[in-house]
Chain A
Amino acid sequence: SQKIEQNSEALNIQEGKTATLTCNYTNYSPAYLQWYRQDPGRGPVFLLLIRENEKEKRKERLKVTFDTTLKQSLFHITASQPADSATYLCALITGYGGSQGNLIFGKGTKLSVKP
């Protein structure tokens, strides 16, 4: 079955630096991969989706890459701010059709940006 791994449970960086979070998956490459942000006591909030034929996707200070050869997605936050501190989750679908259109999630990486 498809599995997702987010390599770091926690990442601490200094304000202004670029944060890079990693998401690896096993088995087949999904057609697309999603990233979410979760703040304490809240549900995850969707940030970005990247398709398998998109090497890179950007939204303001966020950048996501998708390497189907390495079976990896990288999530970058440039010019990081303390307000970016949160847990970031990657997610992908388990397959296609019926029950296999459901999203599975990585365990998340908790990012702390220090002023």
Chain B
Amino acid sequence: IAGITQAPTSQILAAGRRMTLRCTQDMRHNAMYWYRQDLGLGLRLIHYSNTAGTTGKGEVPDGYSVSRANTDDFPLTLASAVPSQTSVYFCASRAQGSSYNSPLHFGNGTRLTVT
């Protein structure tokens, strides 16, 4: 089934540890995104990639890094986790053309707890 796969589905992580959240899509979408969702704050964009080999910062990039070595994969890394990074993380993709009106396709999220 075409879509976005995120792993792990949940994780408890000690503060200061490094963690990579995985995201893979099989729709050949050129644009990919990482959002975090927190109660009362909604979805906020962390990083994005308009095409393989390029990345950009979103609204809340601090403490996170991404890479886009190929079209399908867009991992998100927390170099040294802090409790404020406790959140649900969603990866998304879309077939971004010149009109910017294509919808986002989301994975089912990674629930991360930093203790």
Say whether B42 contacts A46, CB under 8 Å: no
Say whether A49 contacts B104, CB under 8 Å: no
The number of chain B residues with a CB under 8 A from chain A is: 27
Q: How far is the CA of A44 from the CA of B108 in the complex (A)?
A: 8
Given A43-B108, A45-B106, A46-B105, CB of A104 within 8 Å of CB of B100: no
Task: State which residues 79-107 of B face A: CB under 8 Å.
Answer: 90, 92, 96, 100-101, 103-107
Contacts of B104 in A (CB 8 A): 34, 36, 44, 46, 91, 103
Say whether B101 contacts A32, CB under 8 Å: yes
Is residue A102 contacting chain B, with contact meaning CB distance below 8 A? yes
A98 vs chain B, min Cβ distance (A): 8
Is residue A61 contacting chain B, with contact meaning CB distance below 8 A? no
Is residue B45 contacting chain A, with contact meaning CB distance below 8 A? yes
Is residue A107 contacting chain B, with contact meaning CB distance below 8 A? yes
Is residue A101 contacting chain B, with contact meaning CB distance below 8 A? yes
A82 vs chain B, min Cβ distance (A): 22
Contacts of A98 in B (CB 8 A): 50, 56
The number of chain A residues with a CB under 8 A from chain B is: 26
Contacts of A102 in B (CB 8 A): 33, 45, 48, 58
State which of B31, B50, B90, B96 has its C-beta within 8 Å of the C-beta of A43.
B90
Q: List 10 A-B contacts (CB under 8 A).
A: A31-B100, A43-B109, A44-B43, A98-B56, A99-B56, A101-B31, A104-B59, A105-B35, A107-B40, A107-B41
A residues near B (Cβ < 8 Å) are: 31-32, 34, 36, 41-46, 49, 51, 89, 91, 93, 96, 98-99, 101-108
- In the A-B complex, the 3 residue pairs with the smallest Cβ-Cβ separation, listed nearest first, are A43-B106, A46-B103, A107-B42
